[in-house]
Structure 1
Amino acid sequence: MPKRILQGVVVSDKGAKTVVVKVERTFLHPLLRKTVRRSKRYHAHNETSTIKVGDTIQIQECAPKSKLKRWEVVTTEG
């Protein structure tokens, strides 16, 4: 099964080797037929610690690294 890749914005880089990424998704409401935005925060492993708040990055699923970290940073886009 392929690993999921998500794109989002870094909202926190306080943890050691950890970043918190906010991923937004849009979908059409089934009854109202209106576009709805929902966001979710993911804790991702960042080995190099070069990513800062506000950066847009891609994260990928991985084996659990800690209690909350199930994702790792793949690429940084700036």
Structure 2
Amino acid sequence: MPKRILQGTVTSNANEQTVTVLVERRFTHPVLKKTIRKSKKYRAHDENNQFNVGDAVRIQECAPKSKTKRWEVIA
């Protein structure tokens, strides 16, 4: 089964080898028929600490690396 890949923006890189990525998705409401924006934050593994706040990144599912990290940065 293929791993999910999401695209978002780095909002925090305060922790060692970890970045917080804000992923926003847009969809049409089934009843109201208007476009809705929802966002969610994911904690992702950043091996070399190379990403800074504001960078656009892609994250991919992976095996759990810690209590909260289940994603890794791929680009």
Q: Which TM-score band applies after superposition, normalised by the shorter structure?
A: over 0.9
Q: How far apart in 1 are the matches of 2:31 and 2:3?
A: 31
TM-score by length of 2: 0.99
Q: How far apart in 1 are the matches of 2:4 and 2:38?
A: 18
Q: How far apart in 1 are the matches of 2:12 and 2:59?
A: 15
Residues 18-60 of structure 1: per-residue CA shift (max 9 Å, x gap):
0000000000001100000000000000001010000000000
Percent of matched pairs sharing the same residue: 61
Residues 1-27 of structure 1: per-residue CA shift (max 9 Å, x gap):
100000000000001000000000000
- Structure 2: which 5+ residue stretches go unaligned? none
Residue in structure 2 matched with residue 50 of structure 1 by the alignment:
50
Residue in structure 1 matched with residue 6 of structure 2 by the alignment:
6
Residue in structure 2 matched with residue 71 of structure 1 by the alignment:
71
Residue in structure 2 matched with residue 21 of structure 1 by the alignment:
21
- Structure 1: which 5+ residue stretches go unaligned? none
Secondary structure, aligned partner of 2:20: strand
Q: Cα RMSD over matched residues?
A: 0.3
